[in-house]
Amino acid sequence: MNRSSDLNLVQAFRHSGPYLKHHRGSTFVIMLPGATVGSPYLDDIISDIALLQSLGVKLVLVFGAREQIDAELEKQHIVTKFHKRVRIADDETFEVIKRVCGSMQIDLASKLSMGLINTPMQGSRLSVVSGNFITARPLGVCDGIDYIHSGIVRRVDSDNIRRELANNSIVLISPVGYSITGESFSVNSEDIAAQVAIAIKADKLITFCNDNELILDGDGEVIAELFPTQAEQYLDKIDPDIHNSTCRYLRAAITSCRGGVERCHLVSHEQNGAIIQELFTRDGIGTQIVRQSAEQVSQATIHDIPSLMDLIRPLEIEGILVHRPREQLEMEIDHYIVIKRDGMVIASAALYCYDEEKLAELACVAIHPSYRGSNRGNILINKIEELARKRGIKKLFVLTTKSAHFFLEKGFVPGNVEDLPKEKREHYNYQRMSKVLFRTINYDQVH
């Protein structure tokens, strides 16, 4: 056995630490579409789900059965009609739906009962609960067409779901809803997942999909984060006939976000462990639809200092920034703004005003290497300008030995040491030979 050290693993584990803590005690609704349940990746997904449960995450699983129902209907030569992309469940079709969903529920429950095989946790039993948690009503008649046994969610029995979750059970929900009149209805699983997530105030809704259902930008890269309005714009651009599933997932995510669910994630079941990477790394692997961006610009506080130091120390060692001892950072923290991503400081800048001369220094501009090459530099400078404007500052200046081109690109122009405020001039380090650059603050754009 090779027992050499695996620094990647150690590094990854350290990174996941904050999320292990954050997710413990949270509630996630996980949507498993029929395609995911029918895929060869299901076993891995089930063990990832068991792992999440063992880490203290409360889980509701909602499964879909579209592909399985289609296959069974075809086998029995039953032709079903659709209206506005919704299946019309007549008596014969609904019998098939009930049989397929019932059998899938049993199969999923038995797979979950297996839990974490081949691990020290083998044998620790997961308790899986199903029930009549979803009350449905008929979709009724639309354009003169009766949807018969196809229904929509009317109510979610959130109290009972929460009780089961508090008991450490996994709640497994099929795409069928029940009515107080003793009927049952076929219900769209994405709709159930979204309504459940909202009703039980879940922290997340996570949906699996095929690789070709992921949300991509113009270069074919997975989009990391969208606000609900951006997700709507994306929906407007794609063809619902070709990207039908993506449309349904996105709509469920938008509805959930608007209904109070902080983050909804879409990950591919074809990527092994995608849910683990999405949940336990800062950048994830899929798309998250969020109410509030994971990245925020804010005034730094004393609590940000350890993370700020992690950011700037490597740059100090490289000689890009001058060394600032911790005590100095503590005393001057009010001068700093930071961009934080899930609590970690990934960029910083500081403003030191020389009010009499109406000049201010832009200092300690740092962006974490993994997060360069995007708009963050502009975000920092705009924020600093905004603060400077409030103080009536006319010009910003920077002293830099290695990053002059960065500031030139941002509209700074070279200047002289003599133009610095008196105090700064007196302390200018002629050995360091920093370049001095200025930028006039624009007051025209102030609204």
Segments in 167-243 forming alpha helices (H): 189-199, 228-237
Determine, following the binding rule CB under 6 A, whether residue 268 of this chain makes contact with ligand ARG.
Answer: no
Determine, following the binding rule CB under 6 A, whether residue 224 of this chain makes contact with ligand ARG.
Answer: yes
- 274 or 350: whose CB is closer to ligand ARG? 274
- 157 or 225: whose CB is closer to ligand ARG? 225
- 297 or 404: whose CB is closer to ligand ARG? 297
- Whether the CB-CB separation of 290 and 256 falls below 8 Å is answered with no
Determine, following the binding rule CB under 6 A, whether residue 39 of this chain makes contact with ligand ARG.
Answer: no
Q: Which residue has the tokens 């300008």?
A: 385
Determine, following the binding rule CB under 6 A, whether residue 288 of this chain makes contact with ligand ARG.
Answer: yes
- 18 or 415: whose CB is closer to ligand ARG? 18
- Distance between CA atoms of 17 and 343, rounded to whole angstroms? 13
- One residue of 279, 300, 388, 436 binding ligand ARG per CB under 6 A: 279
Q: Hey, how many other C-beta atoms are within 10 angstroms of the C-beta on 137?
A: 17
Segments in 24-172 forming alpha helices (H): 34-37, 42-54, 66-75, 91-114, 158-166
- 19 or 371: whose CB is closer to ligand ARG? 19
- 67 or 342: whose CB is closer to ligand ARG? 342
- 163 or 201: whose CB is closer to ligand ARG? 201
- Whether the CB-CB separation of 245 and 214 falls below 8 Å is answered with no
- One residue of 64, 151, 284, 421 binding ligand ARG per CB under 6 A: 284
What residues numbered 327-346 form the site for ligand ARG, per CB under 6 A?
A: 342
- One residue of 175, 177, 286, 421 binding ligand ARG per CB under 6 A: 286
Determine, following the binding rule CB under 6 A, whether residue 19 of this chain makes contact with ligand ARG.
Answer: yes
Determine, following the binding rule CB under 6 A, whether residue 263 of this chain makes contact with ligand ARG.
Answer: yes
Determine, following the binding rule CB under 6 A, whether residue 225 of this chain makes contact with ligand ARG.
Answer: yes
Q: Hey, how many other C-beta atoms are within 10 angstroms of the C-beta on 147?
A: 22
- Distance between CA atoms of 431 and 426, rounded to whole angstroms? 13
- Distance between CA atoms of 46 and 128, rounded to whole angstroms? 13
Q: How far apart are the first and last CA of the chain?
A: 67
- 200 or 344: whose CB is closer to ligand ARG? 344
Amino acid at 118: N
Cβ at position 57, least distance to ligand ARG in Å? 11
- Per CB under 6 A, the segment of 30-38, 61-69, 234-242, 285-293 that binds ligand ARG is 285-293
- Distance between CA atoms of 197 and 194, rounded to whole angstroms? 5
Per-residue x/- marks for ligand ARG, 371-410, CB under 6 A?
A: ----------------------------------------
- Distance between CA atoms of 152 and 388, rounded to whole angstroms? 54
Structure tokens at 308: 């700020």
- Distance between CA atoms of 101 and 37, rounded to whole angstroms? 12
Determine, following the binding rule CB under 6 A, whether residue 27 of this chain makes contact with ligand ARG.
Answer: no
Cβ at position 194, least distance to ligand ARG in Å? 18
Cβ at position 240, least distance to ligand ARG in Å? 24
Determine, following the binding rule CB under 6 A, whether residue 281 of this chain makes contact with ligand ARG.
Answer: yes
Determine, following the binding rule CB under 6 A, whether residue 287 of this chain makes contact with ligand ARG.
Answer: yes
- Distance between CA atoms of 92 and 70, rounded to whole angstroms? 13
- Distance between CA atoms of 156 and 171, rounded to whole angstroms? 13
- 90 or 342: whose CB is closer to ligand ARG? 342
In eight-state DSSP terms, residue 335 is: G
Determine, following the binding rule CB under 6 A, whether residue 207 of this chain makes contact with ligand ARG.
Answer: no
- Per CB under 6 A, the segment of 133-141, 226-234, 281-289, 321-329 that binds ligand ARG is 281-289
- Distance between CA atoms of 83 and 145, rounded to whole angstroms? 8
- Per CB under 6 A, the segment of 282-290, 326-334, 388-396, 421-429 that binds ligand ARG is 282-290
- 335 or 368: whose CB is closer to ligand ARG? 368
281 Cβ contact partners less than 8 Å away, ≥ 6 residues apart: 12, 15, 16, 19
The secondary structure of the chain in percent helix, strand, coil, rounded to multiples of 5, reads: 40, 25, 35
Structure tokens at 296: 């925020």
| Residues engaged in binding ligand ARG (CB under 6 A) | 19, 224-225, 263, 278-284, 286-288, 342
